[in-house]
């Protein structure tokens, strides 16, 4: 879908990749509805948008609160007149512990934000997107959605669920004007650990630097390029591309490789 002149709603637009997406969309001539639980984050996004903030609306909301979705949509329609796109980007990681140690609250929180909120946002927005001549839904999964990362198994499961949800949705909407794209970022340089309220993994600075991170701006530009090309799937970063290749050819070898190289992520 061409982005200029379109109205696009993005969740998690108060930080990281979501903010970079919001700013890049504004620069491409879109109107943007930025949604985030963090009011402070949204204020910063608005500040960074500068003069382009005239095309931006900010909506502070916890996306797991599904009763608020109709009001959110009403507010976006009131401000922008229509909705042509939804980017489900908001997400959190889990504490870096094994499934055995992970607490029920953390399991539910990750699934509610990363998966169920995405389902209910799609159900809320879809009737409006179907009324448009062309529209697009982009769901941000993760490299961890196809590759098992020790200490992030529930996060990975939530992102694997997003992958199949997105692919199924795409098939269901093929004969409509709504295109659907799933995105698999590798490591991106954001503050997701801090924003998720999670203790950073106990690894040395040197070890940490082994995970070459892409900037959020570069990730956003790759994602929007995929959106404009109506891509089926978008792999963000050389790590995601390499692991996708390895995992599809030799899944057990890929899983063992990640287990060996990333087990220091576990906070024991």
Q: Using DSSP, state whether 134 is helix, strand or coil.
A: coil
User: Using the rule CB under 6 A, which residue among 157, 185, 226, 244 binds ligand NAD?
Assistant: 185
Q: How far is the CB of 103 from ligand NAD (least distance, A)?
A: 18
Query: Is the Cβ–Cβ distance between 117 and 66 less than 8 Å?
Result: yes
User: Using the rule CB under 6 A, which residue among 16, 85, 156, 226 binds ligand NAD?
Assistant: 16
| Residue 58 makes contact with ligand NAD by CB under 6 A | no
Q: Using DSSP, state whether 177 is helix, strand or coil.
A: coil
Query: Is the Cβ–Cβ distance between 13 and 20 less than 8 Å?
Result: no
| Residue 62 makes contact with ligand NAD by CB under 6 A | yes
| Identity of the residue, 7 or 190, whose beta carbon is nearer to ligand NAD in the bound complex | 190
Strands 214-215, 188-189: pairing is parallel
| Identity of the residue, 113 or 122, whose beta carbon is nearer to ligand NAD in the bound complex | 113
User: Using the rule CB under 6 A, which residue among 57, 94, 142, 166 binds ligand NAD?
Assistant: 142
Task: Please list, in sequence order, all residues whose beta carbon lies within 8 angstroms of the beta carbon of residue 18, skipping any fewer than 6 positions away.
Answer: 10, 11, 12, 34, 36, 87, 89, 90
Q: x/- string (CB under 6 A) for ligand NAD, residues 79-118?
A: ----------xxxx--------------------x-----
Residue 70, token pair as written in the block: 């109709």
User: Using the rule CB under 6 A, which residue among 63, 126, 147, 258 binds ligand NAD?
Assistant: 63
Of 207, 196, 233, 237, give the one whose Cα is nearest residue 219: 237
Does the annotation mark 247 as catalytic?
Answer: no
Active site members? 155
């Amino acid at each position: 879908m061409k982005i200029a002149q379109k109205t696009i709603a993005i969740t998690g637009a108060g930080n990281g990749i979501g903010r970079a997406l919001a700013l890049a969309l504004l620069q491409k001539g879109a109107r943007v509805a930025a949604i985030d639980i963090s009011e402070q984050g949204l204020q910063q996004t608005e500040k960074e948008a500068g003069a382009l903030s005239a095309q931006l609306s900010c909506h502070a909301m916890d996306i797991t609160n599904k009763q608020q979705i109709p009001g959110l949509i009403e507010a976006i329609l009131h401000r922008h007149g229509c909705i042509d796109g939804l980017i489900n980007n908001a997400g959190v990681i889990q504490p870096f512990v094994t499934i055995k140690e992970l607490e029920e609250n953390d399991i539910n929180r990750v699934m509610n934000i990363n998966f169920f909120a995405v389902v209910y946002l799609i159900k809320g927005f879809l009737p409006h997107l179907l009324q448009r001549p062309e529209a697009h839904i982009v769901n941000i999964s993760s490299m961890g959605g196809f590759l098992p990362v020790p200490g992030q198994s529930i996060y990975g499961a939530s992102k694997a669920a997003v992958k199949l949800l997105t692919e199924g949705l795409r098939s269901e909407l093929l004969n409509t004007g709504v295109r659907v794209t799933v995105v698999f970022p590798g490591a991106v340089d954001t503050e997701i650990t801090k924003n998720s309220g999670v203790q950073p993994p106990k690894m040395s600075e040197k070890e940490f630097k082994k995970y070459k991170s892409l900037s959020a701006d570069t990730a956003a530009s790759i994602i929007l390029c995929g959106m404009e090309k109506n891509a089926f799937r978008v792999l963000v970063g050389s790590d995601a591309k390499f692991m996708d290749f390895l995992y599809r050819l030799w899944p057990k070898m890929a899983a063992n490789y990640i287990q060996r190289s990333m087990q220091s992520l576990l906070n024991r």
